[in-house]
């Protein structure tokens, strides 16, 4: 059977793949510590579960409007208004089956063959593959660890062509944990305005920020930039609701309408019950995410401190999200027996086999020098995992 060419352009999600391997090893009775999953280990808040139960009991179990229920769109409109001062009509909001699906609808509605999409690198794995799936060309804009992964005017301008169509902004970033300050966002906005780019602002980690940092959405910089920005967000990370699959977008009406039409011909509505649960999450305010962030902060410090004491490893303190992204290039001269440990993938494989800890290699995020570890797991697991990792790295010979 001959498959469509687009199927050959992409790889299955590496993070989901490694998590599945770790789970399979655990099912065989191995004590695997999972630093690969990109999801909070907290349980979904009780009021959210109660709203879902009430929805089931009330028989709210049928198709809904394909683009999402009015009640949830209102909660989203209110969230943008109260938290960011951004004003949207409900017709400018689309609710989808997770932010990944939101981004996919967006890619389908926006990209044509030949279009170029600027993606600051390192980047979240699905951006590149979703662009490829929609026949467009990802243009990776390499940022440097030394600069804190800063995106500069010079860097962006060096990658612009007449085919540039959009730029993806992801602050706080998965995998680096870096955030963009106002000055950086202003540069991006200025370039977007001058070069007629659509800004895709993935703000899924907006509430997971440390050291008192405040989230800034690029859409808040001016009405002109808001008019060409699609803000993407969801409840997965902020409310520990990864399994419920609710993401959303707000942006220019023609683009949102096109995305909604595509959704109406593919998945139809996101789950009715999850939509009611998402209303409870968004109306519940920030108490839950704030508590979670206090705990993530302790874990962040522990993990980064431990990583920095390991031979051949150095790790920046992430400013947001829940990932450490240590540089492990210092290990590349070493070996395990006859096996050279000379790439992030080799390090990840060695750690999974020898130390039974699951981490994600940097290659699919666009880095040949890093691995990604999630600290959205308990302090005890982090302490034990770091002990194992340190012991495993000390066994490597030069």
Which residues sit at the interface with ligand PLP, rule CB under 6 A? 38, 98-100, 124, 170, 174, 202, 204, 234, 236, 242, 247
Which CB atom, from 133 or from 393, has the smaller least distance to ligand PLP?
133
Measured from the Cβ of residue 224, the count of other Cβ atoms closer than 10 Å reads 11
Q: Which among 262, 252, 215 is positioned nearest to 230, based on CA atoms?
A: 252
**Bridge partners (DSSP) listed for residue 95:** 248
Which CB atom, from 188 or from 392, has the smaller least distance to ligand PLP?
188
Which CB atom, from 234 or from 318, has the smaller least distance to ligand PLP?
234
Which CB atom, from 127 or from 350, has the smaller least distance to ligand PLP?
127
Phi-psi region of 338 (alpha: psi -120 to 50; beta: other; left: phi over 0): alpha
Asked if 151 contacts 143 with a C-beta cutoff of 8 angstroms, the reply is: yes
CB neighbour list of residue 117: distance below 8 Å, 6 or more residues apart: 111, 127, 131, 136, 137, 138, 139, 164, 165, 166, 167, 168
Q: Is 41 helix (H, G, I), strand (E, B) or coil?
A: coil
Which CB atom, from 45 or from 312, has the smaller least distance to ligand PLP?
45
For 165-189, the DSSP string reads EEEEEESSPTTT-----HHHHHHHH
**Counts of helices then strands in the chain (DSSP H, E):** 14, 14
| Shortest Cβ 290–ligand PLP spacing (Å) | 20
Q: Is 140 helix (H, G, I), strand (E, B) or coil?
A: strand
Which CB atom, from 299 or from 372, has the smaller least distance to ligand PLP?
372
Which CB atom, from 76 or from 310, has the smaller least distance to ligand PLP?
76
| Shortest Cβ 86–ligand PLP spacing (Å) | 19
| Shortest Cβ 270–ligand PLP spacing (Å) | 10
| Shortest Cβ 354–ligand PLP spacing (Å) | 27
- Token duo for residue 391: 């012991």
The full 3-state SS of 48-109, as one line of letters, equals HHHHHHHHHHCCCCCCCCCCCCHHHHHHHHHHHHHHHCCCCCHHHEEEECCHHHHHHHHHHH
Which CB atom, from 218 or from 396, has the smaller least distance to ligand PLP?
218
For 201-243, the DSSP string reads EE-TTTT-B-TT-----GGGS-HHHHTTEEEEEESTTTTT-GG
| Shortest Cβ 181–ligand PLP spacing (Å) | 19
| Shortest Cβ 225–ligand PLP spacing (Å) | 20
For 234-284, the DSSP string reads ESTTTTT-GGG--EEEE--HHHHHHHHHHHHTTT-SPPHHHHHHHHHHHHT
Q: Is 195 helix (H, G, I), strand (E, B) or coil?
A: coil
- Taking CB positions, which residue lies at the least distance from ligand PLP? 98
| Shortest Cβ 178–ligand PLP spacing (Å) | 12
| Shortest Cβ 23–ligand PLP spacing (Å) | 17
Which CB atom, from 236 or from 272, has the smaller least distance to ligand PLP?
236
Which CB atom, from 149 or from 350, has the smaller least distance to ligand PLP?
149
| Shortest Cβ 234–ligand PLP spacing (Å) | 4
| Shortest Cβ 74–ligand PLP spacing (Å) | 20
């Amino acid at each position: 059977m001959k498959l469509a060419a687009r199927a050959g352009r992409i790889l299955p999600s590496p993070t989901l793949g490694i998590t599945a391997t770790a789970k399979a090893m655990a099912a065989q009775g191995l004590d695997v510590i999972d630093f690969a999953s990109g999801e909070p280990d907290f349980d979904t808040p009780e009021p959210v579960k109660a709203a879902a139960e009430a929805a089931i009991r009330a028989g709210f179990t049928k198709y809904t409007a394909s683009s999402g229920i009015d009640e949830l769109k209102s909660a989203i409109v209110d969230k943008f208004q109260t938290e960011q001062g951004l004003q949207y009509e409900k017709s400018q909001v689309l609710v989808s089956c997770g932010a990944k699906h939101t981004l996919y609808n967006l890619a389908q509605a926006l990209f044509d063959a030949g279009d170029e999409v600027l993606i600051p690198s390192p980047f979240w794995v699905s951006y590149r593959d979703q662009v490829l799936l929609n026949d467009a060309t990802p243009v990776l804009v390499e940022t440097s660890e030394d600069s804190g992964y800063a995106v500069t005017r010079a860097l962006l301008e060096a990658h612009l062509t007449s085919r540039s169509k959009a730029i993806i902004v992801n602050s706080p970033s998965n995998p680096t944990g870096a955030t963009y300050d106002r000055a950086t966002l202003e540069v991006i906005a200025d370039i977007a305005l001058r070069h007629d780019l659509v800004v895709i602002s993935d703000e899924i980690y907006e509430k997971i920020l440390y050291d008192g940092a405040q989230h800034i959405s690029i859409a808040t910089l001016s009405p002109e930039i808001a008019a060409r920005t699609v803000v993407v967000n969801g409840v997965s990370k902020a409310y520990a609701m990864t399994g419920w699959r609710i993401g959303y977008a707000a942006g220019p009406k023609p683009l949102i309408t096109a995305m909604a039409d595509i959704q109406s011909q593919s998945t139809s509505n996101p789950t009715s019950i999850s939509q009611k649960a998402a209303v409870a999450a968004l109306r519940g305010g920030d108490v839950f995410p704030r508590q979670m962030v206090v705990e993530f902060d302790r874990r962040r410090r522990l993990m980064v401190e431990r990583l920095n004491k390991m031979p051949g490893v150095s790790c920046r303190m992430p400013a947001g999200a829940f990932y450490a992204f240590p540089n492990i290039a210092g290990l590349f001269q070493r070996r395990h027996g006859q096996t050279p440990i000379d790439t992030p993938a080799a390090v990840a494989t060695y750690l999974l086999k020898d130390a039974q800890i699951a981490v994600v290699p940097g290659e699919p995020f666009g880095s040949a020098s890093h691995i990604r570890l999630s600290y959205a797991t308990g302090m005890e697991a982090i302490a034990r995992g770091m002990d194992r990792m340190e012991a495993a790295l000390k066994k490597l010979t030069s």
